[in-house]
Homo-oligomer: A and B are copies of this chain.
Amino acid sequence: MANIRDIAKAANVSVTTVSRVLNDHPYVSEEKRRAVLETMKVLKYNKNLNAVTLSKGKTQIIGVVLPYIHQPFFSLVLNGIARRASEEGKTIMLFQTNYEEEKEREALEKLKGKQLDGLIFCSRALSQADIQMYGQHGPVVLCEESEHMNCVYMNHYESIVTGVRHLRRRGYERIGLTLNRNSGRNTNERVRALKDSGFHDEDIFYGALNMEDGEEIARELLLLGNDGPDALIITNDTVAAGIYNEFRRRGKKIPDDLALLSYDNQHIAQSLEISSVQLPLLEMGEAAYSLLSIPKHKKIELPFTLIQREST
């Protein structure tokens, strides 16, 4: 592997000149430029990007932390980030964490080790305080409200309040909630909003992330019969689809037997006519990316829209 010095020697110029040619700097005669280019070809020269990185102190790599790649929510946010990053010639390093703190730490350590120019958390398991500690090593953005770090988020409390109001107007009286985790800021906000609206813990179902989880919850609800909620606000469309499917299989009707309101408004909600809270996820990703280069604390709240369909 020929390096810049080999080229310099072979072409009878200095390394500086070779570097100049490499970077299209001015102040290099056409004659030498051609000579350098020629010997590069002869010696099959390849620029070593790691050396550039070390010398410049920047990698042009942005880290993105998310729990699950294949969830529509996260893959759309990621998409938004990737789009902006690509426009600016940055690349994305992906950290799929499955909500394991250790995996999140790996990403933070790469920021600390200068392998990343910035880091975006689409969701997190570590505490905000833990994450904030790494802020001194480079820009960190959260897709969740934060008082100390740059962040882009939607108002989860308000979204639940809006959902409850919508359901009440449609005549539903006992409203339940499904959630993925039993901690996390967004989760807590949703729970708080539900309780403030006068509903109870017993109608909150945790561990609701996939279609199978939805089917499972549906079976629980069917056992409860009239002793359960008559409407459910659901983690995401996929879980809602699971509930929908299981109810249909058992000969139950949506929304007569159970009203469904889910989050994300993905294709499947559209197809099954499930009401859903739509978030501008691509925009969230794009905003997160932009926030990386804003030095002072900035929060961006994104609006949501409730799309009503047959399920409510």
Contacts and interface: CB of A to CB of B under 8 A. Distances in A.
Contacts of A92: 93-94, 96
A245 B268 contact: no
Contact of A272 (B69, B91, B103, B271): B271
A51 B53 CA distance: 9
A49 interface: yes
Contacts of A110: 49, 91
Given A70-B76, A82-B69, A115 B50 contact: yes
B75 A70 contact: yes
Taken together, the copies of this chain in the complex come to: 2
A90 to B, nearest CB: 11
B241 A271 contact: yes
Contacts of A168: none
A188 interface: no
Nearest to A112: B46
A270 interface: yes
Interface centre among A94, A241, A272, by most chain B C-beta atoms within 10 angstroms, is A94
A282 to B, nearest CB: 9
A75 to B, nearest CB: 4
Contact of A113 (B47, B83, B113, B238): B47
Given A241-B267, A271-B268, A79 B96 contact: yes
Given A49-B115, A113-B46, A103 B75 contact: no
Given A70-B75, A79-B70, A114 B245 contact: no
A72 interface: yes
Interface string A61-103: 1000000111010011011001100100001111110000001
A226 interface: no
Given A50-B50, A245-B270, A268-B268, 5 more contacts: A50-B57, A82-B94, A82-B96, A83-B96, A244-B271
6 contacts: A50-B115, A61-B93, A70-B76, A86-B96, A211-B267, A268-B268
Give me the 5 closest cross-chain CB pairs, A-B, nearest first: A49-B113, A70-B75, A49-B115, A92-B94, A50-B54
